[in-house]
Amino acid sequence: MSLANTPSPAGAGESGAGYVPEPDEVLDLTGLRCPEPLMLIRRKMREMSPGGILKALADDPASVRDVHNLCRHLGYRLLSSTPDIPYEFVLEKPLPGAAANGQEEGSP
């Protein structure tokens, strides 16, 4: 499912409030410790089609910082995150040319 043609509703985003689309893939990363959750999220996002939605569940406190940084550096859109364990992150893979930082994944 993609949000490419859907306006972002008020309240959606990192706060966890508002509309969050159903994920295309779900990764249960509970029990894994840094850097494994981040590596597996990145691998799965690379496999997904542009516009794909991934839900990741993790219980490593470092995942909160790591997922936010991953999204910022690789241009993934963090649609929601939860503050309680297990942490739940919903990410969207950008459409080509739509990376948040102006770079496609894999570029320097």
Catalytic residues: 34
Per the DSSP assignment, residues forming a β-bridge with 55 are: 26, 90
Phi-psi region at 88: left, alpha or beta (left = phi > 0; alpha = psi -120 to 50): beta
Q: In this structure, how many other beta carbons lie within 10 angstroms of the beta carbon of residue 83?
A: 9
Q: Structure tokens of 80?
A: 């929601």
Distance CA 17, CA 32 (A): 27
Cβ contact 77:91 at 8 Å: yes
